[in-house]
Amino acid sequence: MEFVDRLLTCADCGGEFIFTAGEQLFFFDKQFKNDPKRCKPCKSRRAGISARPGAGPAAAGISRTETRTVCSDCGIETTVPFKPTQGRPVLCRQCFQNKRDAPPAVVAAIESVPLSAEIMVVAAHAPQA
């Protein structure tokens, strides 16, 4: 398929901009159905607006899906902004914050607790350094 540069009109500022053959090839490869509506300056200005704090989905009136679940650490009922997957722990806000703020050595020590009595017996009889 042959692509040639085309002149389009920006939906925001009304100015004309070139939709290059390379951009058309990119749109074709990505299977985009519509041509761009905005020139690059208007597109970047619009993207800058949505990148500001407070301009996310909640500010636009779009609500996030909250899922009710039970915290894997403390057992309280909580809500999370995602759908939990099977076999992965889900933490409430407090437990997540505690785990995130814990020093790496403490987390490693907690995760390396022996799980069987045999390992504990071997460790008890190990020579002291």
120: tokens are: 């504990």
pLDDT digits (tens, 9 = 90+) for 72-123: 889 999 888 888 888 888 888 888 888 888 776 655 555 555 555 445 544 4
Task: Name the pTM for this structure.
Answer: 0.40
Contacts 24+ apart (CB under 8 A), 2-5: 3/28
- Per domain, the residue ranges of the chain are 6-50, 67-124
Burial of 36 per CB tally in 10 Å (0-12, 13-18, 19+): middle
Say if residues 40 and 17 touch (Cβ distance below 8 Å): yes
pLDDT digits (tens, 9 = 90+) for 7-26: 999 999 999 999 999 999 99
User: Of 71, 111, 64, 110, which is closest to residue 93 (Cα–Cα)?
Assistant: 71
